[in-house]
């Protein structure tokens, strides 16, 4: 009853992210009411495993009273004062705590309100720096198809999920897209090694043809998350960085999803991919979703030639009322303390082989074309024909069909067209990983039966 009332209010008034205009006002979203550990409870009172971890972010799980208490204490002590004119003990400490965990000399932290604003800040900083260095023509950002970097004008402009670009305007003159880096979609007969060389050539050729004096930065997620958990071939990021260095192009690693433990490390760039970028953007797992916060973390070196005596009086006029908000900073500090105290990074590293084995085993199901992932991130991609790798004619709905079956069985899935992506809370146990994949397997089998019944597939 209550959830029916909430659903009605929601349908009338709450415009959600990625709102379908066709379905506006028709409602139908789940009403998430309570959550604890790795489970979210909907209006029907039944706890279900949270497969997507909220939105790739609930690292330490739900219902952590000590995070709530840290936030409540900070709200009473000093909820807010202007970050333009002051600092606060929690936000200054958090900046230092982040800098201690970043690779190389990425020691300067600009706080934002989330991932999009962290990416926007990174891009604006790169432009600002080039203007100060007298390189006003060096402004193009190279990015990749299937990337997702956010929903502000500039972060959306460097995002490359085709369907999301429909009906919007973008800063097209500033952006160049490289083709898909998904090894699963490589041309037939091409080895992964040859595919890697081709992808590296895509980057270097783009820089050469646009002109290195016009290219400012390359931006890349270590693993393309909402593009379908695309893991590029081994060595890709390290060698992309070498190409960038050769042409004086900055490398921005968008670790909004991979940061804060998803791959078993504070940041993945150096620990997993063996490279130290110039800028890292982060958000989500920084507070485990308990409060909105993002961070754009910049190499000291990038400030050296534009600050102090070299500054020409310039001001980096970029900022938000809530940059480094004390209540969010208190949540982040407590979240980091919990990750450390409970050994959550080690737990992720220990659990990863089992998670990835269970994920890979789903590849035996006839509906599944590819399974891929790393750390506690995974994706199942369904296809009509495994040899031709054709997406299903019903590709819009197959993830939804799997989700509907899994929900009945006790698991929330994040459907993305013909894919389902997973990033459960990092505290998930070995047995809970088994429960999650048992349900998913059953959900895929039931969906296959549905498709056979509808005549979309033969058994």
Ligand X SMILES: Cc1ncc(COP(=O)(O)O)c(C=O)c1O
Residues found near ligand X in the complex (CB under 6 A): 114-116, 119, 148-150, 221, 225-226, 254, 256-257, 283
Residue among 38 and 296 whose Cβ is closer to ligand X = 296
Q: Which residue is nearest to ligand X (CB)?
A: 115
Contact indicator for 49, 411 with CB cutoff of 8 Å? yes
To ligand X, the closest distance from the beta carbon of 171 in angstroms equals: 16
Residue among 293 and 333 whose Cβ is closer to ligand X = 293
To ligand X, the closest distance from the beta carbon of 203 in angstroms equals: 19
To ligand X, the closest distance from the beta carbon of 145 in angstroms equals: 14
Residue among 290 and 437 whose Cβ is closer to ligand X = 290
Residue among 55 and 446 whose Cβ is closer to ligand X = 55
To ligand X, the closest distance from the beta carbon of 282 in angstroms equals: 9
To ligand X, the closest distance from the beta carbon of 166 in angstroms equals: 19
Residue among 261 and 369 whose Cβ is closer to ligand X = 261
To ligand X, the closest distance from the beta carbon of 284 in angstroms equals: 6
To ligand X, the closest distance from the beta carbon of 374 in angstroms equals: 14
Tokens 């084995």 sit at which residue?
A: 357
Residue among 221 and 441 whose Cβ is closer to ligand X = 221
Tokens 């999009």 sit at which residue?
A: 116
To ligand X, the closest distance from the beta carbon of 189 in angstroms equals: 32
Sign of the C-alpha dihedral, residues 65, 52, 149, 345?
Answer: positive
Residue among 143 and 448 whose Cβ is closer to ligand X = 143
To ligand X, the closest distance from the beta carbon of 424 in angstroms equals: 16
To ligand X, the closest distance from the beta carbon of 22 in angstroms equals: 23
Residue among 115 and 369 whose Cβ is closer to ligand X = 115
Residue among 221 and 450 whose Cβ is closer to ligand X = 221
Residue among 176 and 262 whose Cβ is closer to ligand X = 262
Kindly list the distances between the CA atom of residue 346 and the CA atoms of 88, 251, 266, in Å, as whole numbers in the listed order: 31, 28, 11
Tokens 């991130």 sit at which residue?
A: 377
Residue among 58 and 257 whose Cβ is closer to ligand X = 257
Q: What is the 3-state secondary structure (H, E, C) of the chain?
A: CHHHHHHHHHHHHCCCCCCCCCCCCCCCCCCEEEEEECEEEECCCCEEEECCHHHHCCCCCECCHHHHHHHHHHHHHHCCCCCCCCCCHHHHHHHHHHHHHCCCCEEEEEEECCHHHHHHHHHHHHHHHHHHCCCCCCCEEEEECCCCCCCCHHHHHCCCCHHHHCCCCCCHHHEEEECCCCHHHCCCCCCHHHHHHHHHHHHHHHHHHHCCCCEEEEEECCCECCCCCECCCCCHHHHHHHHHHHCCCEEEEECCCCCCCCCCCCCHHHHCCCCCCCEEEECHHHCCCCCCCEEEEEEHHHHHCCCHHHCCCCCCCCCCCCCCCHHHHHHHHHHHHHHHHCCHHHHHHHHHHHHHHHHHHHHHCCCEEEEEEECCEEEEEEEEECCCCEECCCHHHHHHHHHHHHHHHCEECEEECCEEEECCCCCCCHHHHHHHHHHHHHHHHHHHHHHHHCCCCCC
Distance CA 305, CA 134 (A): 12
Six-digit token string for 316 = 């980096």
To ligand X, the closest distance from the beta carbon of 208 in angstroms equals: 27
What's the CA angle centered on 392, arms 388 and 397, to 5 degrees? Answer: 160
């Amino acid at each position: 009853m209550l959830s029916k009332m909430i659903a009605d209010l929601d349908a009338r008034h709450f415009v959600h992210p990625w709102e379908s205009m066709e379905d506006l006002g028709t409602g139908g979203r789940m009403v998430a009411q309570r959550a604890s550990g790795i489970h979210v409870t909907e209006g029907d009172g039944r706890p279900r495993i949270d497969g997507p971890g909220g939105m790739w972010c609930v690292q330490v799980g739900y219902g952590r009273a000590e995070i709530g208490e840290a936030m409540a204490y900070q709200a009473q002590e000093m909820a807010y004062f202007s970050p333009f004119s002051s600092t606060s003990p929690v936000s200054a400490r958090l900046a230092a705590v982040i800098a201690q965990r970043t690779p190389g000399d990425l020691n300067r932290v600009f706080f934002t309100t989330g991932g999009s604003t962290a990416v926007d800040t990174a891009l604006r900083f790169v432009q600002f720096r080039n203007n100060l260095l007298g390189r006003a023509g060096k402004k193009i950002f190279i990015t990749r198809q299937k990337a997702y970097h956010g929903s502000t004008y500039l972060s959306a402009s460097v995002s490359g999920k085709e369907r999301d670009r429909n009906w919007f305007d973008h800063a097209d003159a500033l952006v160049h897209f490289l083709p898909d880096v998904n090894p699963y979609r490589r041309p037939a007969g091409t080895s992964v090694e040859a595919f890697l060389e081709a992808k590296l050539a895509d980057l270097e050729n783009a820089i050469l043809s646009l002109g290195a004096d016009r290219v400012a930065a390359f931006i890349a997620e270590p693993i393309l998350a909402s593009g379908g958990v695309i893991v590029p071939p081994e060595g890709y990021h390290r060698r992309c960085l070498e190409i960038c260095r050769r042409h004086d192009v900055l490398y921005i690693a968008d670790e909004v999803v991979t940061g804060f433990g998803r791959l078993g490390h504070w940041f993945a760039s150096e620990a997993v991919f063996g490279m130290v970028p110039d800028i890292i953007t982060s958000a989500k797992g920084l507070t485990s979703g308990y409060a909105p916060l993002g961070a754009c973390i910049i190499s000291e070196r990038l400030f050296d030639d534009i600050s102090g005596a070299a500054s020409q009086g310039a001001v980096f006029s970029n900022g938000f009322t809530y940059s480094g908000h004390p209540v969010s900073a208190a949540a982040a500090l407590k979240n980091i303390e919990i990750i450390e105290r409970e050994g959550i990074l080690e737990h992720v590293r220990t659990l990863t082989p089992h998670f990835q084995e269970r994920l890979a085993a789903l590849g035996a199901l006839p509906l599944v074309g590819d399974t891929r992932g790393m750390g506690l991130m995974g994706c199942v991609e369904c296809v009509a024909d495994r040899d031709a790798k054709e997406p299903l004619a019903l590709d819009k709905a197959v993830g939804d069909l799997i989700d509907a079956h899994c929900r009945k069985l006790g698991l929330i899935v994040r459907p993305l067209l013909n894919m389902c992506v997973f990033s459960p809370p990092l505290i998930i146990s070995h047995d809970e990983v088994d429960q999650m994949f048992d349900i998913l397997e059953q959900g895929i089998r039931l969906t296959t039966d549905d498709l056979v019944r509808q005549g979309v597939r033969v058994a």
